[in-house]
Amino acid sequence: MSSLLAHDTGTGSPPDRGDPRTVRLLTPDGVRQTSGEYAARVADLDDAALLGLYTDMVVIRRIDQEATALQRQGELALWPPLLGQEAAQIGSARALEHDDFVFSSYREHGVAWVRGATTAELCRVWRGIAVAGWDPYRIGMATPQVIIGAQTLHATGYAIGAKYDGAASAVVSYFGDGATSEGDTSEAMVFAVTYGAPVVFFCQNNQWAISEPVGLQAPTGIAARAAGFGLPSVTVDGNDVLAVLAVTREALERARAGEGPSFIEAVTYRMGPHTTADDPTRYRTADEVEAWKAKDPVARLAAYLRGTGALTDDVDAEVAATAQRAAAALRADCTALGEPDGESIFDDVYAEPHPVLEAQRTRFLAYREGFEEER
Amino acid sequence: MSATMTLGGAIGAGLRQAMTADPKVLLLGEDIGKLGGVYRVTDGLQRDFGPQRVMDTPLAESGILGTAVGLAYRGYRPVCEIQFDGFVYPAFDQIVSQVSRMHARTKGAVTMPITIRIPVGGGIGSAEHHSDSPEAYFAHTPGLRVMSVADPQSAYSLIQEAVACDDPVLFFEPKRRYHLKGEVATDGAPAAGGMSRARVLRHGTDVTVLTFGGLVQVALDAAEAASEEGLSLEVIDLVSLSPIDWPAVTESVRRTGRAVVVHEAAQTGGIGAELAAGITERCFFHLEHAVVRVTGWDIPYPPAKLERHHLPDLDRVLDGVDAALGRPSSYGEQAFA
Ligand SMILES: Cc1ncc(C[n+]2csc(CCOP(=O)(O)OP(=O)(O)O)c2C)c(N)n1
Ligand SMILES: [Mg+2]
């Protein structure tokens, strides 16, 4: 009985499991580790580069905050906040090359930002005027996926194709802890291993899948699963941007070297609600949220950079101003997004002419015309 | 005894009744326990019946339906919640290849008394995959019963009937009606057979309007508007989409000689196609006009801000009624050429 109920009383994992196998290069109070295999992978990052990562994180947090406000004000229909996951997203996305490709879920605004999505593109879907924000080929990132887990297979297929083409591209698939339960995710790992696909499975374990704690999906841990499929895996402190960058670089290098897929579990925390429609007080305690605040990814990097002297009050004010400009652009671009014409719902359903649908379009137009005449 | 309930609350109350009546009834789904489901339909049930009878499952729809098959094999009566219409597809294989066929496969030795509850349809400004109307896929599948509820009272009674039914039942709950309030009589056993019976909600003589779920109120509003122009529409809530209550449908259409079917799902291969064919077969010599379909277009569900161009509303129902009466309409001559 107790094991059956184990998940039921569970909440998210404690912020620090103290697992020595978890890769961490910045301690929560901002001390940088400089020795070891992973530290070597990011040894090239000087203070200026770290300040760049810091700026990314501050900017995307500010954008996220603005989008949440836009939702509250009725300008967006919904928004899934990334608050708390900035390091996991920025650190991994900054490891990517231009020709790499991303297949993500809906919460990866930080990844999209790094890939080059504009503020308008970040808003389009959530404003309810489109089901895709950007041209996937322009920024090297597929339309974020709503069907949990589906994108893991897409990433794998794309990676197989890139391999067949002899390209140097690698692919990253982002998904959540909840997504690890879907059959698609397991199937993706099977295919990736079978074909030696240059794909990185990047799981942001943010402790929650809506109201379900990660223990309900994976009582024995997520990263450990990969071994059963034949993938190397690593658990990384997902609130440590340096460590995330290091493990993602390693996995991408492996992919590009023809050594096949890898699995990364980035342990992080969804500090906000699942979406703006969610009320997390129904399923998790304020204490848990507080405990994770002490591990804040942005504050951690700030502490380190303050220690080195790179982040002064003046510099921080500049970063804040940059973030403020991005937020203002988001607001302006979002509210300027008009509604497409109704007839556009018939566009692009098929790549080739479809007479039945075209007849429906004709009827739609006739209906609308008749309706307007009546007025 | 009666109480005021929302449609969602009535389903929850009906589930509570069903769980109290039969200890083999158990609920499975994502976020249905502590959270009470994203629409709070199962609110309080895990608290009162425990985590073994109200199971928050891992995030896997095929897993939910597949384990429900095993539980049913073992004598349980699982009620599965699929969080949104668009998330039933990962479970499609288990439903179509296993749930629907098990009774026939085993020559009746094994029953699959599984209820699959699905919040359905649009009109709520939701994100992609949160507004689908997939009922036709299931109505097309032999072995499944498919139904949709439209008001608190029938929701309360019919969910209990669905759970008690020894066949698998797809139970569609129109999201746009979840918060609709109504008086619900909670005493006495629900009328047996109600889940397979259509309901005439408004009597009329000129045209029969056939619909279900989220569009029932739209059809009633259209009938009210039409009456102001001296037109008498009969409005039928089909309730059951498999089996269709043909006696109720034919009785009405033979009287009016004209039928308009209204649903949110795309037209091609939809429930409207089955109704049009069945009505033609049964009422051919009584028909004054071809059956008219007022449906969503044959497109993927559009983004929220454009859904009003897709969904049948009062005016589009009246446009269809005009077509059925042979009056000028968007359907024109060529639609029936
Ligand atoms: C196939 C499918 N089932 C259910 C849902 C509803 N749903 C949306 S998000 C979510 C939780 C996802 O959790 P996780 O994978 O951990 O990602 P996170 O939201 O934490 O980023 C669920 C159940 C869905 N979108 N797709
Ligand atoms: Mg999660």
DSSP string, A249-260: HHHHHHHHTT--
- How far apart are the CA of B93 and the centre of ligand 2, in A? 26
> A284 — contact with chain B (CB < 8 Å)?
no
Question: In the structure, what pLDDT confidence band is assigned to residue B332 with cuts at 50, 70 and 90?
Answer: confident
Quote the pLDDT of residue B149.
97
Mention every residue, 6+ apart, whose C-beta is less than 8 A from residue A51. Answer: A305, A310, A311, A315, A319
pLDDT digit string, tens, across residues B152-193: 999 999 999 999 999 999 999 999 999 999 999 998 766 667
- Give, in words, the CATH class of B2-196: alpha beta
Picking from B90, B302, B328, the nearest residue to A345 by CB comes out as B302
Cα dihedral across residues A102, A108, A110, A113: positive or negative: positive
Which of A151, A153, A210, A343 to mutate to probe the B interface, most B CBs <10 Å?
A210
Nearest CA to ligand 1 atom 20: A209
- How far apart are the CA of A12 and the centre of ligand 2, in A? 10
Give the span between the Cα atoms of B120 and B304, in whole angstroms: 15
Give the span between the Cα atoms of B168 and B112, in whole angstroms: 6
Give the span between the Cα atoms of A354 and B297, in whole angstroms: 13
Name the residue among A33, A26, A78, A31 with its Cα closest to residue A57: A26
- Amino acid in position A173: S
The DSSP result for B128-168, as a single string, is TTSS---HHHHHTSTT-EEEE--SHHHHHHHHHHHHH-SS-
Domains of chain A: which residue ranges? 3-340, 345-375
Residues of chain A with pLDDT under 50: 1-12, 14-15
Quote the pLDDT of residue B257.
98
Name the residue among A253, A249, A220, A227 with its Cα closest to residue A236: A249
Q: B328 vs chain A: nearest CA distance in angstroms?
A: 10
> A210 — contact with chain B (CB < 8 Å)?
yes
Give the span between the Cα atoms of B291 and B336, in whole angstroms: 10
Give the span between the Cα atoms of A295 and A291, in whole angstroms: 7
Quote the pLDDT of residue A9.
37
DSSP conformational letter for B24: T
pLDDT at B336 over 70: no
Single out the catalytic residue among B130, B263, B289, B310: B130
DSSP conformational letter for A280: G
Quote the pLDDT of residue B187.
85
Give the span between the Cα atoms of B283 and B331, in whole angstroms: 22
φ, ψ (nearest 5 deg) of residue A319: -60, -45
Pocket probe mutation, ligand 1, options A82, A107, A146, A210, max atoms within 8 Å of Cβ: A210
The verdict on the CB of residue B87 being under 6 Å from ligand 1 is: yes
Report the run of H or E that residue A225 belongs to, with start and end. Answer: helix A225-229
- How far apart are the CA of A211 and the centre of ligand 2, in A? 9
Domains of chain B: which residue ranges? 2-196, 199-336
The verdict on the CB of residue A117 being under 6 Å from ligand 1 is: no
pLDDT digit string, tens, across residues A309-318: 999 999 999 9
- Report CB contact under 8 Å: A146, B128: yes
Q: What is the dihedral of CA A152, A58, A91, A131, to 10 degrees?
A: 20
pTM score of the predicted model: 0.96
Q: Beta-strand (E) ranges in A227-284?
A: 233-237, 262-267
Pocket probe mutation, ligand 1, options A83, A145, A148, A276, max atoms within 8 Å of Cβ: A148
Give the span between the Cα atoms of A164 and A151, in whole angstroms: 20
- CB atoms under 10 Å from CB of A228, counted, come to 9
- Give, in words, the CATH class of B199-336: alpha beta
Name the residue among B18, B335, B27 with its Cα closest to residue B162: B18
Quote the pLDDT of residue B189.
66
pLDDT at B337 over 70: no
- Report CB contact under 8 Å: B299, A349: yes
The verdict on the CB of residue A277 being under 6 Å from ligand 1 is: no
> A146 — contact with chain B (CB < 8 Å)?
yes
What length is written for chain A?
A: 375
pLDDT at B226 over 50: yes
- CB atoms under 10 Å from CB of A281, counted, come to 10
Q: Describe the strand order of the beta sheet including B25-29 as a list of residue ranges.
A: B54-56, B25-29, B77-81, B115-120, B169-174, B145-148, B240-242
| Set of chain A residues whose Cβ sits within 8 Å of the Cβ of B90 | 147, 182-184
What number is the ipTM of this complex? 0.95
Q: Do domains B2-196 and B199-336 have the same CATH topology?
A: yes
**Into which CATH architecture does domain A3-340 fall?**
3-Layer(aba) Sandwich (3.40)
Which of B27, B28, B31, B83 to mutate to probe the A interface, most A CBs <10 Å?
B31
The verdict on the CB of residue A176 being under 6 Å from ligand 1 is: yes
Name the residue among A208, A198, A119, A186 with its Cα closest to residue A157: A198
The verdict on the CB of residue A179 being under 6 Å from ligand 1 is: yes
Quote the pLDDT of residue A1.
29
User: In this prediction, what percent of chain B has a pLDDT beyond 90?
Assistant: 96
Give the span between the Cα atoms of B25 and B79, in whole angstroms: 7
- How far apart are the CA of A60 and the centre of ligand 1, in A? 22
What's the whole-number mean pLDDT along residues B85-101? 98
Beta bridge partners of B77: B25
Picking from A128, A182, A344, the nearest residue to B125 by CB comes out as A128
pLDDT digit string, tens, across residues B125-142: 999 999 999 999 999 999
Mention every residue, 6+ apart, whose C-beta is less than 8 A from residue B211. Answer: B218, B219, B235, B236, B237, B238, B261, B262, B263
pLDDT at B195 over 60: yes
Name the residue among B331, B336, B245, B325 with its Cα closest to residue B295: B331
3-state secondary structure of A204: strand
Mention every residue, 6+ apart, whose C-beta is less than 8 A from residue B263. Answer: B133, B135, B211, B212, B215, B270, B271, B272, B294, B295, B296, B312
Tell me whether residue A74 is exposed, middle or buried, using C-beta atoms within 10 angstroms of its C-beta: 0 to 12, 13 to 18, 19 or more.
exposed
